[in-house]
Amino acid sequence: MSHNPGAPWAFTLTIGGRPVAGGPTFDVINPATGRVVAAAPDCTREQLDEAVTAARAAFPAWAALAVAERRRLLVSMADAVDEHTQELAGLVVLEQGKPRPVAVAEVAGLALWLRQTAGLELPETVNQDDGERWSVTRRLPLGVVAAITPWNYPVGQASFKVGPALLAGNTVVLKPSAFTPLANLRLGEVWRDLLPAGVMNVVAGSGSLGSWVTGHPGFDKISFTGSTQTGRKVMASAAQRLARVTLELGGNDAAIVLPDVDVKEVAPQLFWAAFANSGQICLATKRLYVHEDVYDDLACELVRLAEQARVGDPSESEVDLGPVSNRRQYETVVSLLRDCRDRGYRFLTGGLPEDGGGGWFVAPTLVDDPPESSRIVREEQFGPVLPLLKYRDMDDAVQRANAGEYALGASVWAGDPEAGQEVAAQLEAGTVWVNEVMHLDPLVPFGGRKQSGIGVESGLAGLLEFTEPQTLSVRRSRR
């Protein structure tokens, strides 16, 4: 099914292999215009129960299926994603507001993650194999997994959860953000006939659906990506029945620029590190510490890049940066900008947006060396605003970069990569890059330290998050 222009889009929940519509709906808004894109089905409590019941009923047969067969099905899911790339990317553009090439890359990432995950092997360790005893430790699936995702990469976030959960033998209920449910609902439709009924369910809802999911006794595991604030609630709710959790939470990533960099070379990389997807990336650079020797030159280059960037409605023209993705996030970003203005911090470019125009646009904004204690430095902006922070002494830069509650990613930029590596070794973060940033690989785990999360996604370690070890020990000799 592809969209027929002029006809209203009809989206359905996927529950037990069936389309489920009817009942209440909620509006999905295009952030570039403020207008309604489509009405999404609003999952009721009863429908959530049905999804969990279907997933639970499907679990034993799915877990018992040969791993080779689960691998084959993951690859067919990837093929189906490839066949629908343009349509899925079009939905992401409309509901999330990113430029089309970024949305296409996001959808391609899902197919890549599914294929690469399909090749992973669950380890089996023989602990003892002799005349006395045979003992083996295997990894078993957990049961029914809830996958809860945020709005910044609606398809991309699903890719970190769906493939590994299914390969390990779990069944899944996927719940995207209420701001961006459409591409995920469509994925449910695209995958519906490929998998046994109930293995992969997709629900969407406004209001309390997230807390219904985390409080539901039928889930064995909650794999959650979102803010630290919500992550705490998820963990508290899961604790009531000791449901397993993986929490991928907020970040306030620092980048440290050493004085020996080639400013012209690193400036575009740093610009996109901070402003890609309008700054709405968990691993985006959110604080830029620049040595005083290169601060003015780098600031100048970044201003030039910001002023060149084309900001606009991604469904109407070729743009580099779309709007902030929803009104709630726009208000967060505007409140931070207002705080900067009220306290007299200088905008090198950008600043508070003018009212009106329909969409939630904020021009890429650079804040000139605000105090370390300012909100724009301490809080996660998750939008197109970057504080530039001057340092003289490397120990001071490292100490400031490590301050705060978050520890998701960090990067170091250096002419001499070995010197960069020495600094990187002192940074507290789940991933630290030198002379690059945000490089993710389906086979490499990533996750947050401190308040940025618990557990990891991707790679073998990410797959193991959807399993539990079981040891089978067989006594061979009589005592």
Which residues 389-428 are close enough to bind ligand NAD by CB under 6 A?
A: 408
- Tell me: does residue 301 bind ligand NAD (CB under 6 A): no
d(CA 323, CA 280) in angstroms, rounded, equals 10
3-class secondary-structure state, position 383: coil
Structure-block tokens of residue 289? 């510490």
- Tell me: does residue 451 bind ligand NAD (CB under 6 A): no
Phi, psi of 348 (to 5 degrees): -75, -30
d(CA 141, CA 5) in angstroms, rounded, equals 43
- Tell me: does residue 149 bind ligand NAD (CB under 6 A): yes
In the complex, minimum distance from the CB of residue 282 to ligand NAD, in angstroms, rounded to a whole number = 3
Judged by beta carbon, residue 136 or residue 235, the one nearer ligand NAD is: 235
d(CA 96, CA 155) in angstroms, rounded, equals 11
In the complex, minimum distance from the CB of residue 227 to ligand NAD, in angstroms, rounded to a whole number = 4
- Tell me: does residue 172 bind ligand NAD (CB under 6 A): no
- Stretches 44-52, 245-253, 299-307, 367-375: which one binds ligand NAD (CB under 6 A)? 245-253
In the complex, minimum distance from the CB of residue 408 to ligand NAD, in angstroms, rounded to a whole number = 6
Which residues 253-292 are close enough to bind ligand NAD by CB under 6 A?
A: 282
In the complex, minimum distance from the CB of residue 150 to ligand NAD, in angstroms, rounded to a whole number = 3
Q: Which member of 97, 109, 210, 353 binds ligand NAD (CB under 6 A)?
A: 210
3-class secondary-structure state, position 280: coil
Judged by beta carbon, residue 255 or residue 261, the one nearer ligand NAD is: 255
Structure-block tokens of residue 366? 């650079």
In the complex, minimum distance from the CB of residue 184 to ligand NAD, in angstroms, rounded to a whole number = 10
Q: How far from 401 is each of 72, 139, 404, 437, 447, CA to CA, in Å?
A: 44, 38, 8, 15, 18
Contact 8, 36 (CB under 8 A): no
Alpha carbon 110 to its chain centroid, in Å, reads 12
Contact 347, 340 (CB under 8 A): yes
Task: Give the E-state strand segments of 43-190 in sequence order.
Answer: 125-129, 133-141, 144-148, 171-175
Judged by beta carbon, residue 53 or residue 227, the one nearer ligand NAD is: 227
Q: Which member of 11, 59, 151, 295 binds ligand NAD (CB under 6 A)?
A: 151
Q: Is the dihedral of CA 384, 390, 394, 400 positive or negative?
A: negative
d(CA 425, CA 444) in angstroms, rounded, equals 18
- Tell me: does residue 201 bind ligand NAD (CB under 6 A): no
Among this protein's residues, is 50 annotated catalytic? no
Judged by beta carbon, residue 148 or residue 294, the one nearer ligand NAD is: 148
Q: Which member of 138, 233, 449, 450 binds ligand NAD (CB under 6 A)?
A: 233
Find, among 107, 208, 198, 101, the residue nearest to 153 by Cα. Answer: 107
In the complex, minimum distance from the CB of residue 327 to ligand NAD, in angstroms, rounded to a whole number = 12
d(CA 440, CA 157) in angstroms, rounded, equals 12
Question: Annotated catalytic residue: which of 50, 248, 457, 465?
Answer: 248
- Tell me: does residue 383 bind ligand NAD (CB under 6 A): no
Task: Please list, in sequence order, all residues whose beta carbon lies within 8 angstroms of the beta carbon of residue 143, skipping any fewer than 6 positions away.
Answer: 56, 59, 170, 171, 219, 220, 221
Side-by-side strand order, sheet with 385-391: 346-349, 365-368, 385-391, 285-291, 253-257, 409-413, 431-434
Which residues 431-450 are close enough to bind ligand NAD by CB under 6 A?
A: 448
- Tell me: does residue 382 bind ligand NAD (CB under 6 A): yes
Q: Which member of 85, 225, 278, 349 binds ligand NAD (CB under 6 A)?
A: 225
Judged by beta carbon, residue 12 or residue 152, the one nearer ligand NAD is: 152
Q: Catalytic residue numbers?
A: 248
Residues lying near ligand NAD in the complex (CB under 6 A): 148-152, 175, 177-178, 210-211, 214, 225-227, 230, 233-234, 248-251, 282, 380, 382, 408, 448, 453
